[in-house]
């Protein structure tokens, strides 16, 4: 299983917002590059650069501001495997032209231009299940069968991407743990995961609030053990990728788990 290391170039992401911002609120590109290089050294297979917070209640960010945040970082990370977390086709086009090699779309192709851009570039694309916006998704976690409905909707998204020209081997599906899902629904999707890995799947559960519900850990910084448990479960279930904040700890945990399985 491959590791996607999270590099948020935002002031307001739920766990690490502001990590690479200067005291005056300006992005510190050198700090972002150093952090990305550190994650690669710790075992990340690619870096996921995000310029828009998708946490519940996050304020919207316009396209100009998103580009202002991500383009300098992508340009400075030449030679590293860089993906960009965006739902906008114009942003995807700009960052791919600047050297990015993959797109992580947490709106699952809502912007048809994004799918066209990905198809033209021939790059990998994560399509994540979601409902609503950061302001409304908490009210939209209504499912009769969360696993069946989420994966049926993802199948429709994948078909739309392929119809737009995205190679089927370039599509990675993400059930959107925590996005328009309650804690119990997120757990149900993870339990169900072994049934769904006939296609490449990415799991992003690092430090999320459902782990706090399960463990009583209110602070995201206290949720590493829970995050590692999910990463090991995802690996055993056959997921292709796991998206994490804590690369070194995740790589170590997966290495030890693999050694135990081999023994």
Tens digits of residue pLDDT in 183-224: 999 999 999 999 997 889 999 999 999 999 999 999 999 999
pLDDT at 70: 95
Residue 261 CA to residue 263 CA, distance in Å, equals 5
pLDDT at 186: 98
Is residue 233 scored above 70 in pLDDT? yes
How many Cβ atoms sit within 10 Å of the Cβ of residue 24? 6
> Is the CATH number of domain 2-257 3.40.50.410?
no
Is residue 18 scored above 80 in pLDDT? no
**Neighbour-count burial for 106-132, b at 16+ CB within 10 Å, e otherwise:** bbbbebeebbbbbbebebbbbbbbbbe
| Catalytic site residue from 170, 181, 208, 251 | 208
Overall average pLDDT of the 8-28 stretch = 70
- Please write the tens of the pLDDT for every residue from 107-119: 888 899 999 999 9
181 a catalytic residue: no
By percentage, how much of the chain surpasses pLDDT 90? 79
Among candidates 74, 88, 6, which has minimal Cα distance to 40?
6
3-class secondary structure per residue, the chain: CEEEEEEECCCCCCCCCCCCECCCCCECHHHHHHHHHHHHHHCCCEEEEECCCCCCCCCCCCHHHHHHHHHHHHHHCCCCCEEEECCCHHHHHHHHHCCCCEEEECCCCCCHHHHHHHHHHCCEEEEECCCCCCCCHHHCCCCCCHHHHHHHHHHHHHHHHHHCCCCHHHEEEECCCCCCCCHHHHHHHHHHHHHCCCCCEEECCCCCHHHHHHHCCCCHHHCHHHHHHHHHHHHHHCCCEEEECCHHHHHHHHHHHHHHHHC
Please report, for residues 6, 40, 125, 143, 235, the alpha-carbon distance to residue 45 in angstroms, rounded to integers and kept in the order given: 11, 7, 15, 34, 15
pTM of the model: 0.92
pLDDT at 132: 78
Is residue 12 scored above 60 in pLDDT? no
pLDDT at 53: 80
Overall average pLDDT of the 92-102 stretch = 97
What pLDDT band is residue 17 in, cutting at 50, 70 and 90? low
pLDDT at 92: 97
pLDDT at 141: 87
| Catalytic site residue from 19, 69, 170, 243 | 243
- Please write the tens of the pLDDT for every residue from 120-176: 999 999 999 998 777 787 788 899 999 999 999 999 999 999 999 999 999 999 999
243 a catalytic residue: yes
DSSP-derived pairing of the beta strands 46-50 and 241-244: unpaired
Whether 178 and 205 have beta carbons less than 8 Å apart is answered as yes
Residue 172 CA to residue 102 CA, distance in Å, equals 11
């Amino acid at each position: 299983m491959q590791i996607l290391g999270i590099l948020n170039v935002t002031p307001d992401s739920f766990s690490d917002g502001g990590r690479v911002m200067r005291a005056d609120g300006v992005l510190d590109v050198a700090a972002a590059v150093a952090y990305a290089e550190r994650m690669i050294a710790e075992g990340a297979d690619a870096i996921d650069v995000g310029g828009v917070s998708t946490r519940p209640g996050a304020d919207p960010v316009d396209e100009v501001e998103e580009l202002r945040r991500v383009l300098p970082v992508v340009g400075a990370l030449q030679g590293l495997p860089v993906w960009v977390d965006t739902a906008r086709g114009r942003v995807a086009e700009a960052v791919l032209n600047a050297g990015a090699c993959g797109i992580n779309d947490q709106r699952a192709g809502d912007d048809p231009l994004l799918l066209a851009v990905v198809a033209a570039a021939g790059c990998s694309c994560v399509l994540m299940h979601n409902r609503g916006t950061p302001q409304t998704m908490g009210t939209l976690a209504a499912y009769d069968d969360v696993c069946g409905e989420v994966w049926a909707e993802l199948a429709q998204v994948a078909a739309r991407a392929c119809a737009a020209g995205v190679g089927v081997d370039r599509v990675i599906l993400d059930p959107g743990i925590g996005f328009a899902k309650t804690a119990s629904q997120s757990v149900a999707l993870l339990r169900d995961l072994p049934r769904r890995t006939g296609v490449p799947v990415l799991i992003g559960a690092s430090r999320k609030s459902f782990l706090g519900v399960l463990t009583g850990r209110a602070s995201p910084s206290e949720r590493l053990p829970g995050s590692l448990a999910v990463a090991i479960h995802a690996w055993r279930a056959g997921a292709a990728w796991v998206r994490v904040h804590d690369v070194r700890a995740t790589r170590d945990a997966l290495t030890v788990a693999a050694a135990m399985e081999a023994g």
